[in-house]
Amino acid sequence: MGLPRFIRPNGVDEQLSPNLYVANCGPSVGLSYEIIKSVFSKFGQVKGVYAADESGARVIVSYVDVGSAQAALKALDGHSCPDLGGRSLHIRFSVLQPTSEVNDSIPVSLVASELSIPGLYLWHDFINAKEEQELLTAVDDRPWNNLSKRRVQHYGYEFCYETRNVNTKEQLGELPSFVSSILERISSLPDLGDSASLVLDQLTVNEYPRGVGLSPHIDTHSAFEGLIFSLSLAGPCIMEFRRYLDGSWLPKTASSNDMKVKNLENGSNLIRRAIHLPPRSMLLLSGEARYAWHHYIPHHKIDMVNDNVIRRGSRRVSFTFRKVRKGPCQCEFPQYCDSQR
């Protein structure tokens, strides 16, 4: 989406650059981007200050010219800086990261029909603001499980991230009462047809801090049936869908069903679509959208939607409802199906 991306220096093949990687410096240690820019501007014109990662304690300071970056590095690296709270900064040169796969900027749709992906639906304002707050309060009153970059809660059955599957012999109980009205509303959706009678029995609640996304994947076929509902709360995001053709997609192993993307394509065998998911919207993956398209949330703090800059909230919480599968999958997409490989 056009935001700068920088390679973290490895300390071996360091090269001169107008961009500096600065550690022990950032909002999480009490230093705003404005203060950082004012200090580094003493050495030359600063184009911008960017987060180097999700820690909030490391930034990229980008100058107009290399000479300014050299002067700042020489003056500030390893020295206590009174203007930055007496902190000792650790500075290295950094360079722009080459773009990978294909051009990162693709049109973002606001409605599902524009994507032309069979089985993909999106309902805006599926719940109101009061219901949203009640759901957030309900999960915040319950214990979270910490993953590497986000927190989760599981209801009905626990999803095991190591195997990307569920143990159908270990049921956690019924889904909580605070989602009963959501389940009733789902069953009355007009596009479900005969599937409206499907009893959803698994719920995963994910909390994504600002800037944290989701790696490209297809939900394991053998784990869940063909309808997957995801309710977005608290903050917006962009969800991208990818369809890999002609064998360009490969799972890590058939046994683990990791569904990770190779990220080596030149774009010729890859179809990409993107949609904006506002708070309180409900997304449905069914049919081809569920079984054959990878879905992915870019790790961004800012998204571009039709030339509009949309900042993600301090967190996004998703409620994902699924039906646990009790037998092998017999879908029409065997190349993506762990039951048929």
How many CB atoms lie under 10 A from the CB of residue 74? 11
Tokens 């065998």 locate to 269
How far from the centroid of its chain's Cα atoms is residue 213's Cα? 1
Question: Does the structure show a pLDDT above 90 at 220?
Answer: yes
Give the residues across from 216 on adjacent strands.
none
- pLDDT value at 262 more than 60: no
The pLDDT score that the predictor gives to residue 51 is 79
Contact by Cβ (8 Å): 277, 238: yes
Q: Tokens representing 223? A: 């784990």
**Cα of 76 vs its chain's centroid, Å:** 35
pTM equals: 0.67
- Closest among 293, 239, 258, 292 to 122, alpha carbons compared: 239
Q: Most distant CA pair in the chain: distance in Å?
A: 70
Provide the pLDDT confidence category of residue 196 given band limits of 50, 70 and 90: low
Q: Which stretch, 164-173, 206-215, 266-275, has highest mean pLDDT?
A: 206-215
The CATH code of domain 6-96 reads: 3.30.70.330
Reply yes or no on domain 112-336 having CATH 2.60.120.1520: yes
Cite the residue boundaries of each domain of the chain with CATH code 3.30.70.330: 6-96
Which sign does the torsion angle of CA 224, 113, 209, 316 carry?
negative
Q: Round to whole Å and give the CA distance between 275 and 33.
A: 30
**Does the structure show a pLDDT above 90 at 280?**
yes
CA dist 202 and 146 (Å) reads 19
In the chain, which residues fall in CATH 2.60.120.1520? 112-336
* pLDDT (0 to 100) of residue 167: 86
**Eight-class DSSP state of 224:** B
